[in-house]
């Protein structure tokens, strides 16, 4: 008993938001201790990892042939098991230093549409990265906990979590998901739509990082009061020369219209398939937007207009999910029902 308490005292616990775009880590003692891109740079000659996270993201589109910068997660799930394992191990070692007598316990959040095979891959990658135990929480549930919603009450709460690879729409009541839908359209799809649009309209080839920068700076889902512009640089498709153009928020709104509409339709479907009593609660309480996609200008206004309900954005949507996962980790008994394994 003494040894169990002793090792439990020294054994660290971690909450992890293992996202397609970014990975965030939370410890009960220090809160959010890591927020880095889910990117790994590998030397193809010997499969050696050269960089992980922020440093590796700078490699995207800038590497010589022998170096590959890859994102091991696609659509919210593991696409490359070995690289994901290496990435998680790197991040865990970065935040856990000092006395490592005991492996950490990890709580990882996953998309609601995850299959049993994908679930197993997440658990295995966590265990092989050095965790002694891995528990899973669904992303919308973690977002609801992080935003302080009364999930244990017999009241319907709607959460829309827009990440890099997936958009999670869920109605939560009595610590369970009453209805959920996971669409594999989110921030990454918007970036790709911007790249395609600028290529088609301006014969300009731009990289992934440039497309994301444009989206963050001037991207919008609803017309803005003041027009915004942004200078985009890339390669002229006609002659291969460097080229720079100025695009407006109107251009980018047109570019991302399709993925934005897909997200709005997912919200509509969720409301249509949710029992009327819970829809009535959602009409009263409104809808919570979380995840990086919640920062897209005017998205809350567009959803509010289309659905005729109140929409609020969490105070820090980029960290809502990992904060909720951390709360579930710290209050394990209280939130025992939210674990899905």
Q: Supply the DSSP string of 86-154, one letter for each residue.
A: HHHHHHHHHH--S--SSPPEEEEEE-TT--HHHHHHHHHHHHHTT-SEEEEEEHHHHHHHHTT--TTSS
**Strand runs labelled E in 206-290:** 229-236, 242-248, 287-290
Contact 110, 117 (CB under 8 A): no
- pLDDT given for residue 101 in this prediction: 55
CATH number of the domain encompassing residue 302: 3.30.420.40
Last-in-domain residue among 208, 226, 257? 257
Query: Cβ–Cβ contacts within 10 Å for residue 128, how many?
Result: 15
Residue 148 domain flag = no
CATH number of the domain encompassing residue 204: 3.90.640.10
Residue 59 and residue 20 share a domain: yes
Residue 86 domain flag = yes
- pLDDT given for residue 145 in this prediction: 96
Residue 170 and residue 192 share a domain: no
User: Phi and psi (nearest 5°) for 62?
Assistant: -125, 10
Residue 297 and residue 218 share a domain: no
Residue 232 and residue 330 share a domain: no
- What residues contact 54, with CB distance under 8 A and at least 6 apart? 36, 37
Residue 249 and residue 268 share a domain: no
Tokens representing residue 33 in the block = 């201790």
- pLDDT given for residue 64 in this prediction: 81
Question: Which of 78-98 are b and which e, b meaning 16 or more Cβ less than 10 Å from the residue's Cβ?
Answer: bebeebbbbbbbbbbeebbee
Residue 294 domain flag = yes
- pLDDT given for residue 7 in this prediction: 38
Q: Are β-strands 167-173 and 176-183 bridged in parallel, bridged antiparallel, or unpaired?
A: antiparallel
DSSP code at position 172: E
Residue 164 and residue 75 share a domain: no
- pLDDT given for residue 95 in this prediction: 86
Kindly calculate the radius of gyration of the chain based on its CA atoms and give it in whole angstroms. 21
Q: State the Cα–Cα distance between residues 18 and 68, nearest whole angstrom.
A: 21
Parent domain of 169: 154-185+260-316
Tokens representing residue 48 in the block = 């050696």
Residue 103 and residue 91 share a domain: yes
Residue 149 domain flag = no
Q: State the Cα–Cα distance between residues 31 and 25, nearest whole angstrom.
A: 8
- pLDDT given for residue 66 in this prediction: 87
Residue 147 domain flag = no
Residue 114 and residue 26 share a domain: yes
User: Phi and psi (nearest 5°) for 32?
Assistant: -75, 115
Residue 9 domain flag = yes
Residue 133 and residue 122 share a domain: yes
Residue 288 domain flag = yes
Tokens representing residue 117 in the block = 């095979």
Residues in the chain: 341
Tokens representing residue 68 in the block = 């590959």
- pLDDT given for residue 45 in this prediction: 85
- pLDDT given for residue 2 in this prediction: 36
DSSP code at position 60: T
Residue 303 and residue 176 share a domain: yes
What is the three-class DSSP state of 24?
strand
CA distances from 324 to 25, 149, 172, 173, 204 (A): 12, 10, 14, 16, 41
- pLDDT per residue of the chain (341 residues) written in tens, 0 to 9: 433 443 343 457 899 999 999 999 999 999 999 999 999 999 988 888 899 999 998 888 777 888 888 899 988 888 998 999 999 989 988 887 654 557 889 999 998 878 899 899 999 999 998 899 999 999 999 999 999 999 999 999 999 999 999 999 999 999 999 999 999 999 999 999 999 999 999 999 999 999 999 999 999 999 999 999 999 999 999 999 999 999 999 999 999 999 999 999 999 999 999 999 999 999 999 999 999 999 999 999 999 999 999 999 999 999 999 999 999 999 999 999 999 98
Residue 146 domain flag = no
Residue 123 and residue 49 share a domain: yes
Query: Cβ–Cβ contacts within 10 Å for residue 244, how many?
Result: 10
What's the domain count of the chain? Answer: 3
Q: State the Cα–Cα distance between residues 223 and 215, nearest whole angstrom.
A: 14
Residue 212 and residue 223 share a domain: yes
């Amino acid at each position: 008993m003494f040894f169990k308490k002793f090792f439990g005292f020294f054994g660290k616990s971690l909450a992890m938001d293992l996202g397609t775009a970014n990975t965030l880590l939370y410890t009960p003692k220090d809160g959010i201790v890591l927020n880095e891109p889910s990117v790994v740079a590998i030397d193809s000659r010997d499969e050696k990892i050269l960089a992980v996270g922020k440093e590796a993201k700078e490699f995207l589109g800038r590497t010589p042939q022998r170096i590959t910068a890859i994102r091991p997660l696609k659509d919210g799930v593991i696409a490359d098991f070995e690289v994901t394992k290496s990435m998680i191990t790197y991040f865990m070692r970065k935040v856990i230093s000092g006395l490592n007598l005991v492996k950490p316990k990890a709580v990882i959040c996953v998309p609601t549409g995850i299959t049993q095979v994908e679930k197993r891959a997440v658990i295995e990658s966590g265990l092989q990265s050095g965790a002694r135990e891995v528990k899973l929480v669904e992303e919308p549930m973690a977002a609801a906990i992080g935003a302080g919603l009364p999930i244990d009450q017999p009241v319907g709460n709607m959460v829309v979590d827009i990440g890099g690879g997936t958009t999670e729409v869920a109605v939560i009541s009595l610590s369970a998901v009453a209805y959920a839908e996971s669409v594999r359209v989110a921030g990454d799809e918007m970036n790709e739509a911007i790249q395609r649009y600028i290529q088609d309209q301006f014969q300009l080839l731009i990289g992934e990082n440039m497309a994301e920068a444009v989206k963050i700076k001037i991207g919008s889902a609803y017309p803005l009061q003041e027009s915004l512009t942004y200078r985009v640089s890339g390669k002229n498709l006609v002659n291969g020369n460097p080229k720079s153009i100025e695009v407006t928020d109107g251009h980018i709104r047109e570019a991302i219209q399709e993925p934005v509409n897909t997200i709005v339709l997912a919200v509509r479907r969720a409301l249509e398939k949710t029992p009327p009593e819970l829809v009535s609660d959602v009409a009263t309480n409104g809808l919570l937007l979380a995840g990086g996609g919640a920062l897209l200008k005017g998205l809350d206004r567009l959803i509010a207009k289309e659905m005729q309900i109140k929409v609020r954005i969490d105070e820090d949507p980029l960290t809502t999910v990992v904060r909720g996962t951390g709360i579930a980790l710290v209050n394990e008994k209280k939130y025992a029902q939210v674990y899905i394994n």
